[in-house]
Amino acid sequence: MRFVTPSEQQDAASRAVEELLGEFAAHLRQLGRSEHTVRNYLADLRSVFGAIGPKDAFDLSAIDRAAVRKWLMGMRMQRRSPATIGRRLAALRALFRWALSKGRIQEAPPLDGLSPGRYHRLPKFLSQTEAAAMLDEQTPETPANLRDLAILELLYATGLRVSELAGLDVEDAENGRVLRVIGKGDKERIVLMGKAARETVAAYLKHGRPRLKPRQDERALFLNRQGGRLTDRSIRRMVDAAAKGHTNFAHVGPHALRHSFATHLLENGADLRTVQELLGHESLSSTQVYTHVTRDHLKEVYRSAHPRAKLGKKGPQQK
């Protein structure tokens, strides 16, 4: 009888995990989940299984509530953000539901009541002055510059997710004033464009995109230097470079511009329901985080605008 080494046992366990995740990924695609969403689910689940999965064999049914609680405690001790923990916990719950429906396990561990904890970190966003300075400093001298300016203006003017922007085709922007966007869950929504965004997109379509030499039958709105669709990663790098010198943040990504879009709308009088629709949030609770980031701004407006807010503790001076 051949002796199986610990390394071989671990390799077998890893193959079992990947086989399970491959089937789960196929299920997510059948539900219409985007490739971006599928990749995130798999990355989160690999992280969980790397922490709580057995090293010599893999058996999903062996993962119980106690193991998940121990994993949660470890994540908190590592000071992982509640958002990250919550996302991974949600992915694990989804996997258990699918595995139960397919007969891969006889029962799912009871995970009710397990929580990542409170999420206090506020979203990163640029001030209105910082956003304006970043956009005004761009010099659209080359086709790539025209493209980058159009991307920056669109992200700030519409609050698009980076995956939504990268997925835009030329026909989605041909209306001029609105964009047809495919968001989370392959749900379509119409997004409004302001004057600056309309003008920069029109300039890019006329003078930039044709000179980037799109591949035959390529319908992507934003192209790379090879004439193919620009990737999420390339857009993130470009946004980070464009924001340098305009903010104190070490790094700024497309999502910071989405947060800036929502925050600045609320600061200038938009109501929460409108912002929810423009962001494509299914639940208002996802949008309510922005009420916190605008609170300091509202206090400043109140102190500067309300006549009684300026009074000292002793009240108005007597004549």
Looking at residue 210, the DSSP 8-state letter turns out to be G
Listing DSSP states for 49-72 in one string gives HHHHS-SS---GGG--HHHHHHHH
What DSSP string describes 121-188? PPPP---HHHHHHHHHT----SHHHHHHHHHHHHHHHH---HHHHHT-BGGGGTTSSEEEEE-GGG-E
Residue 209 near residue 147, CB atoms below 8 Å: yes
Exactly one of 36, 80, 104, 255 is catalytic; name it: 255
Marked catalytic residue, from 93, 236, 281, 297: 281
pLDDT at 166 over 70: yes
Tell which wins on pLDDT, 180 or 144.
144
Q: Among this protein's residues, is 258 annotated catalytic? A: yes
Asked if 255 is an active-site residue, the reply is: yes
Give the pLDDT score at 9. Answer: 59
Domains of the chain (ranges; CATH) run 6-101 (1.10.150), 128-301 (1.10.443.10)
Q: What is the pLDDT of residue 45?
A: 92
Q: 146 burial class (0-12, 13-18, 19+ CB within 10 angstroms)?
A: buried
Q: What length is written for the chain?
A: 319
pTM listed for this prediction: 0.62
| Candidates 41, 156, 204, 290; catalytic one | 290
- When the pLDDT of each residue in the chain is averaged and rounded to a whole number, the result is 84
Whole-angstrom distance, CA of residue 45 vs CA of residue 17:
9
Other CB atoms within 10 A of residue 210 CB: 12
Q: Which of the following is catalytic: 88, 161, 259, 264?
A: 161
Active-site choice (184, 189, 236, 297): 184
Average pLDDT over residues 271-289: 85
Q: Output the 3-class SS for 219-284.
A: CECCECCCCCECCHHHHHHHHHHHHCCCCCCCCCCHHHHHHHHHHHHHHCCCCHHHHHHHHCCCCH
Q: Is 281 a catalytic residue?
A: yes
Name the catalytic one among 198, 209, 229, 258. Answer: 258
User: Based on the number of CB atoms within 10 Å of its own CB, is 46 exposed (0-12), middle (13-18) or buried (19 or more)?
Assistant: middle
pLDDT in tens, 114-153: 777 654 556 788 989 999 999 999 988 899 999 999 999 9
Q: Assess whether 184 carries a catalytic annotation.
A: yes
